[in-house]
Structure 1
Amino acid sequence: MTPERRAPTGTDAGVSDPMTGRLLDGRYRIRGRIARGGMASVYEATDLRLDRTVAVKVMHPGMGDDTEFADRFVREARAAARLSHPHVVAVYDQGDDDGIVFLAMEHVPGHTLRDVIRKESPMAPGRALALLEPVVSALAAAHRAGLVHRDVKPENVLIADDSAGGAVKVADFGLAKAISADTQHTATGGVLIGTVSYLAPELVVEGRSDARADVYAAGVVLYELLTGQKPHEGESPIQVAYKHVHEDVPAPSATVDGIPPYVDALVARATARDRTQRPADAGVLLHLLHQVAHAVAAGVWTDPDLEADLALRPSAAPGPVAGLDVDTAPQVFGASPQADGGEHAAWLLPAAAAATAASAVDDRTTAIPREPAHQAPAPPGPPSGPSRERDERPPARPRRSRRGPVLLAVALVLVTALGASAWWFGWARYTSTPAVLGMSQGAAVDELEAAGLEVEVGDPAYSETVPAGKVLSTDPGAGERVLDGGTVTLTMSLGKERYDVPKLRGMTEDQAQDALAELKLDFGDSTGRWSTTVPEGRVLRSDPPVGTTLRPGSIVDLVVSKGPQPVELRDWVGRSAATAQAWLEERGITVDASRTEHSDTVAEGDVISMDPAGGSQVHEGDTVTLVVSSGPELVAVPDGLRGSGVDAATQALEDLGFEVRVRNADGYLGLGYVWSVDPESGTEVPAGSTITLSII
């Protein structure tokens, strides 16, 4: 996976994505998008055949049209699938569904090492080493299998939730390259792809990678864990790449206190600019890391033996790399950053330019001993007499002496002419570019034209140091030689690159992430909040709030609605319906209390039952139905009982559900007729009540 930006799983983050809900290869049902990179997006999906959750990596539309790129995608997927290691994200399947090229991989619910760095860094050495150890272990397995990852960074290290065991796994072997002695160039037709903050110097200069490039990136990650910041920063990815080549990674202890010297030494060893000084592969780095971790766990502050083992071998410090000057680097780096840009940009280095830069790494002059000119044998000594001198003198000698001055004069003329030509063509017809940096455009144009130069205005650029409307740079640069009447191109400053946080309220989380990406702002975390005004899954607000001006790459967190807060119902059965209704309505819940029933056990006006029942969760706007007691059912005592026979009266009352009690009236005569009824006839009493008959 390429988790440049991760969205929480289980949300509606992908509701606006056309991939959501799609069935790939008749097997993988796509759910929400959980990550997005420069070349592909990763989705949570269900493997319908094996009934399990997987992560599906889908190439961005259009990239699959490039046959070479698609073939490389498939080839490298197969290479990554060869790895079987507890700290490597497993690759299950690969396919092509109607032009959609995809990988099915292990799903790791959780967060990335980048999230840990944001929350915990700078962290203690023991914690940093514990987090890095499984990463290096995974890289060691890859190196043993003949694979180089080539894109080691915190975003590609996944940490499972505690519910999933908290496992640490390395993801995205999409840039992996099989190690081969004769195929060390990059896999994209001689161009370099990688994340600039973690690029080894040889990748920048030569476009070549081996296991030691992964070791370098792991060392940069360790530095970031220890300090909370990257070792090399710059206004552009080109400047960062330049620093990787020309500057050593500083000691973490220079930024953060409490770091033992041998931890500094481990970082220096892993990030040595001279790759021959680095551990040969991640297996060797893992061994060194274990040694350092044991020393940290033992509470040792200094360990001379360990520091000596880790120390770099004495060698000449690497010199500047010709062809990679920070001002001319745009001529070497021939492509643009990926869409997500910023500090995670991937850059392309033409292979030819890389080869040129590599060949010019050492531009020191070497003195070559000068060989002595061939000399003729010395002439014999002078003769003893004048006659012998005249006889033996060569007849041509006077002619040669006359030709010598002529030849010398010709040589001097030629040298003078050549010198004059060289002076003219190499110097005299050139002038120096005036220094106009920081001037307004008008003033700069006047200055350059006064020097006899033509002026062009190129595309403007952002700058953290040069105010808007002022000259940021010139080509050629100030003081450089330019032909008289030549052209100088001005680059005007746009000022500091800043973007206002857009209005995100009401958007889905995925839409909000897209809006932030368009403004070169990075999505951080999302937090759920209850809301009665914003539907569930929509953005409530951002942090920083809308309108806040930020630098590119700044983190923006989102607060996402969880919908209305649920209310747990009290059990109102047997209690006052009026009180229950007031309590529910106070919480925005609609009450239906129109239904009443007779009850012999529940007093009139109290609740007989409720739907939903007490203890249930409801939300504002939901309806709760109350069944209210109207008291027991009343039955009228029938008329005509007085004067009737006791048996007939008893039968009539029992037919109405009454209980009957018979007693003798005062002055009882034994006639067996009803003298009085209690309660009296016509009185309404609850069904089942006892009616007393007095007989005479």
Structure 2
Amino acid sequence: MSVNQTDPMIGRLIDGRYQVRSRIARGGMATVYLASDLRLERPVAVKIMHGHLADDENFKERFIQEARSAARLAHPNVVNVFDQGQDDESAYLVMEYLPGITLRELLQDHRVLTPEQATDILEAVLAGLAAAHRSGIVHRDLKPENVLLADDGRIKIGDFGLARAASANTATGAALLGTIAYLSPELVTRGVADTRSDIYALGIMLYEMLTGEQPYKGDQPMQIAYQHANDTVPMPSAVNPRVPPELDELVLWATARDPDQRPRDARAMLDHLFELQRGGATGGVQKTMVLPSAMAPVPPLQRTTGPTGPVPPSGTGETFGGSTGDTQILPKGRHRTGPVVPALSENAEALQKKAGRRRRRGAVWLVIVIVVALVALGTALWFNVGPGAMASVPGVSRSSVSQATSTLTADGFAVSKTQEQRYSTSVPAGEVTGTRPRAGATVHKGATVTLIVSQGPRILSFPQVTGHLEATARAALKNFTVKASSYQFSNQAKNVVLSVAGTTSAGADEDLGSASTYREKGPVTLTVSLGPVPDVTGKTVSDAQATLSAVGLVGDQTASSYSDTVAAGSVISQAQANQGTVIKGDHIDLTVSKGPAPITLPDETGKKVSTAEAALKALGLKVTYADCTTVQCSTASALGFDWRKLVKVQSQSPAGKSTVHKGDTITLTYDGSAISVG
């Protein structure tokens, strides 16, 4: 998607209720937007099916199925669905909005989770999935992308787009749905899914949380599918030795190739997890506290009785003799001074031992309490002000490297001296486009953050599109941002590109007609021909104006003139009102004919016919008269005279001083008998 193009859904009001604010994510079937429910005044997530799938009834039914499946569930660990409908041919559903991240993003930031973290997430997902299984719904697409971790600590399952009724046990047909990395063997081999298929996917997710990787890898999806169908998932502890045996067994149980060897549903697996946490009959992860050896209590005084008095056990200490034959035993390395204590009676010795045990137990508990307090204090200091304290990486995008470094340093992070370089069409070269870990990620204070610095847009080869059709040019410019074209009339054929323009990095206009390179996603404007301006000369004014209007031009009758060749009321000539480029909406000046110019007819009466004829023809008039057939005319012609030079005009029609027009015919009369020859 082009960075410079705006999503048309942003700002749109759906069904008169949901105002779209921004885009959250885009998937294969739909795009999710953040919107405001204007009726209840709360933020919601609106999932809108892609427009190109609107005509596909199978996709549409699957989309509606998600709404129905999720709407049947009411559980704290399942994303709530509030509404579903259709607006302008776009199917949509309205869901609970959870600010936060997905489990996939958490794994990208931290890779491996602790057993405690993995168990917490597993417990929440199992609880939500158990509600679905109890309602007869199989999710069929469990993966880290569909586990949402809200900022307030809630964990929820979303995206029931592939959910089906558990009782249906239907096959997927020719194509396997879901993500290949989490498909159960029965889905791969038989295309059949039930509640145990969800358990298998959850077992793969638990393996990934504990090890930071998926159990099966391959260059092709079929390689991974083959391993799901034929191999046994290894124990997570083979990759991460810190994984306890109980979680190893839980992963192996959930990912058994035979569905009958797995938990029957999420409830059964959740109950087993509770037993592990309680340390029940099936085993559990016991959390025991071991005292440091330096704080172990001193062994108590030991006594035993021999033939002549108390006798030390072999190798336990030193012997001191007294006059009474009594022997007192002290731990090795300790020396006693003073008189020897006489032997106690059996009752007194029993009471003394009992009191000693009570004192020792009290001392042990005191030591335990002190140690626990110190551990708690140390933990609090570690996670609040020490190296173990957590903090969110601040957003430093679109700031300079020095500004970003100062911001991160002030928040207690270290900034790596090595920077990542990345091309960007939206962030100027030299500015920060992001960080690794990403902005908003929760990491330890003092963690090292790597800056991702923009190199600006890539410089690409620029195609020559002048002289090509507009559609061909736009296809060739797919790596650039082609804006709305400019159109003008020209002598070129319609839809042919006349010129191409862009802007420099400083924002100045740039002619790209002869450019060989240009920056990626740079703005491009095409100037396209509308074809020649129609020629309307010779047409009537109304016809000429209609012809011009059909192509977006306005014909104005601005002048009129006499014309000997163009009929009155028709266009003699045309010209654009303003000099320069002609575009739609421009005015064309029309000069309209008034017909031939009027002529005042001269009086040719009394003039020789030849003289009159010449004068009238010089004015553009036509002359007619009867041929002379008299004897005098014949005689004159025989003698070589032009009889028209001998006879005079007796009258003319029309008469002299009449108004005529060029091309009119004037009739002359004469008397041939008046010819005098010789």
What's the TM-score, normalizing by structure 1? 0.42
What's the TM-score, normalizing by structure 2? 0.43
Q: Which protein has greater RCO, CA pairs closer than 8 Å, 6+ apart?
A: 1
